[in-house]
Copies of this chain bind each other. A is one copy, B any other.
Amino acid sequence: MELVKKMLAGSQQPLARLITMVEREAPEVPEIMRQVYPHTGKAYCIGVTGPPGAGKSTLVDKLTSGFRKKGLSVGIIAVDPTSPFSGGAVLGDRIRMQQHYLDSGVFIRSMATRGSHGGLPKTAKAVVKLLDAFGKDIIIVETVGVGQTELDIMEAADTTVVVLVPEAGDAIQTMKAGLMEIAHIMVVNKADREGADYLVCELEAMVRMGPKRSDWLIPVLATQAAFDVGIDALMQEIEHHRVYLKTSGELEQRRCEQRKSEFIEIVEQRIKERLLNLVENDGRMSASVLRVKSGDIDPYSAAQEILENRELLREWLGKM
């Protein structure tokens, strides 16, 4: 595919177009991904998540500057749980990133979760693959860690950084558990504010008392991203975690599992597409749908009818 070749040769515009195709679930996506796949596996992916207002974008901004100083290229995927209806916060975040827009070593892309109904984690993972194949050394995925969909995106990350702020207090309480499960590094940002020391202590206690998922002990760092305080320490911890993943064999093991679940997801997704196509275009399937809609038959009985009709299923497969 011409577009993929141009992208692999280092051209940004084809990259942007491929990402758009992935987002829109264009029919060419499987073929694109097939061609891209052999060129992936070199990038290191960092996830940055936390509640709204934690200063994630500023932190990503500073990390990006840090990696650029080391001569590494950076791809950023910013996932916003918003719709065009609001947008204020997003715009603000993007303005903060402005300096990097002029740097050809940095590629920034925003994606929205709204309306994706669980499909976004898959799309985001595919975009990570594209940036990887494009040759970015570091890929940063930034999401507002406010729900399961957003947290699922973090499966793509090698190192996940969870960012909290002192004042979020109560609001965080209910999220802390979920964030804890995915964190490799915890950051208390805006550490000059009241309650920061206490939150650091509390998180350290949680790390010590919580169930251990591996030999990696989650470090808790205090930062003031806006003033460049603690960024070097954070970069060091990211590097420690990278080395840990590599030497312990966890990195390879996780990538194996990622490939497996990717495979299963793709097969599922395609069968699902074929099914939806049948609902629209096959007479007998449409008839079932109509009976269900009118309440003549309950959805469970109708599903059973269809799934037990091997003759029908075989015929459909022929058409698929």
Q: Which residues of A contact B (CB under 8 A)?
A: 30-31, 33-34, 37-38, 41, 51-53, 80-83, 85-90, 113-114, 116-118, 120, 144, 146-150, 152, 168, 170-171, 173-178, 180-181, 210-211, 256-257, 259-260, 262-264, 266-268, 270-272, 275-276, 279, 288-289, 292-295, 298-304, 306-307, 310, 313-314, 317-318, 320
Contacts and interface: CB of A to CB of B under 8 A. Distances in A.
A272 to B, nearest CB: 5
Contact of A117 (B152, B270, B271): B152
B81 A147 contact: yes
Contact of A314 (B148, B266, B293, B317): B317
A51 B90 CA distance: 19
25 contacts: A31-B300, A34-B298, A37-B300, A41-B295, A51-B171, A52-B174, A52-B175, A81-B147, A82-B177, A83-B177, A118-B118, A118-B152, A146-B147, A146-B175, A147-B148, A147-B149, A147-B150, A256-B294, A263-B299, A263-B303, A264-B289, A266-B300, A267-B303, A310-B317, A317-B317
B268 A275 contact: yes
A8 to B, nearest CB: 15
Contacts of A176: 86
Contacts of A152: 117-118
Contact of A177 (B114, B171, B272): B114
A302 B263 contact: yes
Nearest to A177: B86
A295 B122 CA distance: 19
Given A148-B116, A264-B275, A266-B300, A86 B259 contact: no
